[in-house]
Amino acid sequence: MSTGLAIRGPRSLLRQIREAMAGGGPVQSRLDMAVQIIARSMVAEVCSLYLRRASGDMELFATEGLSADAVHVTRLSPGEGLVGEIVRLARPLNLSDAPHHPAFSYRPETGEDPYHAFLGVPLLRGGRTIGVLVVQNRTERVYADEEVEDLQIIAMVLAEMVAGGALPSSGPLKDVEIAPHKPERLKGVKFAEGLAFGTAVLHEAPVAPEQLLSDDSAAEETRLNIAVSALQNQIDSMIEGQHGLVGASFEVLETYRMFAHDRGWNRSLLEAVRSGLTAEAAVERVRSEHRARLGQARDAYLRERLHDLEDLNDRLLRHLSGDHGAVARVLPDDAILIARNLGPADILEYDRGRLKGILLEEGSTASHAGIVARALEIPCVGRLSGLRDRISQGDKVIVDAESGEAFLRPRPDVVAALDARMAVRAQRQAEFARLRDTPAYTRDGGKITLLMNAGLVVDLDILQETGAEGIGLFRTEFQFMVAEELPRFNAQTQLYERVLDVADGMPVTFRTLDLGGDKVLPYLEADREDNPALGWRAIRMGLDRPALLRLQLRALIAAAKGRELRVMFPLVASVDEFRAARALVDHEVAWAMRRGRPAPSKVRVGAMIEAPSLIWHLDALLPMTDFVSIGTNDLLQYMFAADRGNPRVADRYDPLSPPALRALQAIQQACADTGTPVSVCGEMAGRPLEAFALIALGYDHLSMPPGGIGPVKRMVLSCDREAARRGVTSLLKGATGTLRSEVETLARKLSVAI
C-alpha cells in the first residue's frame, strides 16, 4: 500500500520528526522517537537509522522493530551488506526479498530474519553519505515510488538535523563523521610557486538554507518558479552575449542552458517543494543526489556534467536569496581559496591582503587563473582530483606549490615541517631582495636583461620591488577580460599612461589584444569553433576588426606623449599579417600628428614569434621588424600539437627537448645575423633551469612573472655563459629524448644556482 498521502497532505510527519529531534532529553531518546514516528507513518514493521563513524563503519544508531540490544553493537564495515551497497551507490535500494540479495549480510543480533521487503535511502550531506535510513516489512513487495520519495525527504531532514547542529555532537554522536576530517594529501600540479598555510574558503560557496520545512507549499512553489525563470532568462542572455561570466566558454553556457531548461531537473525541484520543503532545501536535496550519484561515475564526461550542475544549483540558490550578482566575501586573514576552476576576474574579486593561496580541482599552468596567480605571487596548485568533495569550509589546508601538493587538515608534524620550509623560503626571498639592485651579469661578463611580464594594475605596484629593468610583456587584454563592457578610449589611454608613468623611463612593450581562443569576452560575439586555439584570435581578430585594433593603437599613441612606444602583435603567422598590422600603426601615428596631438618620440613595432610558420620565414620578417619576442607558451604547444590548457596533454612535451631547443637556437641565430633585438617572454624564461638553457643558446633579454626575477638573477650571477653554451651545444648533438636531466646535471657541474 502507498503511504504518500500521510506525508504529502499536512506534512505532519516532517513536523513530528523535527519536533522530536529538537526536543529535550538525551540524544539517543530523540533518535529512538524519530524512528518510531517514521515506522508508524510509513506503516513499516522496522525502521532503522545507521550513521557513519570516523572509521568508515556504518553503525546502527536507532531502530524500531529490530532488537534494541543491537543498537551501537551492529557495525558494518565499508561496503558491507545492503547498507554498504547504499553507501557505495549513494542512491536508494528497493528490494522485495532482501535476504536473497548478493550483498545481504546476516547479523543474528538484530533479529531481522523474518523481514523481506527492504527500502534504504542515503543520508546525504554535501554530496557525502553520512548515514542510511531503512524501512522493512515481512511481506515480499516493492515499495512504491512515492514511498521512496517520502523516505528520501525524511532522510534529508534527518541528515540536516544530525549534521547541522540540531543535536549535540557529544555522547553517541561524538565520533560520527559529518564531514571529511582525516588528514589527506592530494597530488596536483603547481601553477604558481610558493607555500601557504591557512583556512579553506570555498569559491562561490552555496547559500545554506536556513529553513528546511515550509508552512506554505504553494508560496514556495511560486518562489521556485520565479527563481528558475529568472535563472533561465539569465543564462539565455549569456548565450546571446548580452551579459555573462568572464571567460566562460560557449560550450559551458550551452550546457547551463540545457540543464536549466531540463524538465527532469525542474520536476525534481517541484516534487521536493510540494512534499513540504522550502525552495532552498529542495535545491540542496536535488544537488546532494546529483553529487552523490555522478561523483561516483567513471565516465569523465558525466563527472564534468556534475560540475555544471553544481554551478547551476549555486546560481539558483543566489536567485532565491535575491542576490543575482557577485557577493562581497569576508575572508579570514589566512584565506586559501578552493574552487573547481577560476577565471581571471574571479581572483581579483578577493582581498589580496588576505588571500594567501589557491587550490583548484582543474585548470592548467597556462590557464588564466595560473597566469594571474603568478602575477600576484599567490601560491597555486591545480588539477587536484576530487578536491571539492574532500574539503569543507573552514578546514585548515597547506598549499605546497613547490611540490604541487595540497595537504587537507594536516597533522601537526606536517605543519611544523612546512613552517621550517617557509622559514628557508623567507631567507631566499631576503637574498633575492638584496640582489634587487645588482646588475644581472654572468661570471664571464655577459649582460642579461631581466624584464617583467604584467597585465594587471596590481603588477605596477611591485615593478620597482622586483629589480626588473622594464616590462617585457604587458598583456593588454586583461583590462578587457575583467570589464563588463568594451573599455572606452579614455579608459584604455589612462591605463597605458599609468603603466608608462610607473615604468619611469624603463622600456615597456605592449602586446596588442590577444583575444579569442579560450579568452572569450561576454560583450563580443564569436562564432563557435571546433579548434579555438587555431581559430579566430589575436592578430587575426584585430585585422578582421580593424576598428577595435585601431582604437587600441590610438589609445597607446595618446598615452605615450613624447615617450618611446613599443608595440608588438601576437600570433603573427605570416609576413603579410605583420605588414598589414604595421601599416595600421603608421596610419594612426600619422592621424595623431595631422591633428597636432602629442606623438611618441619613437615608435618600435615588433612581432611575437608563436606560430612555427615564422621560423622558416624569418629572412623576410626580421628586416620589417624593430624587434621580436618569442612566446614560448604558444610556440611550443603548436610545435608539439599539444594544447597547453588541456590537462591530459599539457605535459606531453618538454621545453628542454631537442626540437624545442633547436627551434629556439635557430630563431636566436637568425636574429643575431640580422641584428634584430630578440627576447623570450614565455613561462620558461622565469624558471632558472630553463633560463640557463636560454642563456646558453645566446638569449640575453628574458621577460618573466615577477616571482621569477629573483631566482633567475641568482642563477645568472652564478653562471659562466660560455661554458653553458659549450655544454648545451654538446648535449644537442645526437640527442633523441628530453634533455632536462642532462641540462640539470650540466648546471650543477658548473655550480649554477638553479
Q: Which residue numbers are catalytic?
A: 368, 681
- Strand 189-192 and strand 380-382: pairing? antiparallel
* Phi, psi (deg, nearest 5) at residue 343: -90, 170
Nearest residue to 701 (alpha-carbon basis) of 472, 396, 424? 472
Give the C-alpha separation, 692 to 725, whole Å.
10
Between CA 455 and CA 477 the distance in angstroms is 8
CB 96 within 8 Å of CB 140: yes
For 597, the grid coordinates are: 596631438
Q: Specify which residues 202 forms β-bridges with.
A: 338
Residue 558, C-alpha cell as written in the block = 595618446
Query: Phi/psi at 147 (nearest 5 deg)?
Result: -70, -40
Burial of 609 (0-12, 13-18, 19+ CB in 10 A): buried
Q: Provide the CA 4 distance to its chain's centre, in angstroms.
A: 43
Neighbouring CB atoms inside 10 A of 263's CB total 7
Whole-angstrom distance, CA of residue 557 vs CA of residue 565: 7
How far, in Å, CA of 440 to CA of 468, rounded? 10
Distance, CA of 540 to CA of 139 (rounded, Å): 72
Q: Which residues contact 508 (CB under 8 A, 6 or more apart)?
A: 470, 471, 474, 499, 500, 566
Measured distance CA(27)–CA(33) in Å, rounded: 10
Q: Is residue 717 packed enough to be buried (19+ CB in 10 Å), middle (13-18) or exposed (0-12)?
A: middle
Among residues 391, 416, 427, 421, which one has the least CA distance to residue 406?
391
Question: Contact, 541 vs 515, CB < 8 A?
Answer: yes
Type of residue at 456: L
In whole angstroms, give the CA distance from residue 447 to residue 419. 37
Rg of the chain, C-alpha, whole Å = 31
Cβ atoms of 58 and 75 within 8 Å: the answer is yes
- Give phi and psi for 266, each to the nearest 5: -65, -40
Indicate the SS3 state at residue 333.
Answer: coil
Helix locations, 100-249, DSSP H: 145-163, 217-239
Place of cell 531518546: 29
* Helix-, strand-, coil-residue percentages of the chain, each rounded to 5: 45, 15, 35
In terms of C-beta density within 10 A (0-12 exposed, 13-18 middle, 19 or more buried), how is residue 28 classed?
A: middle
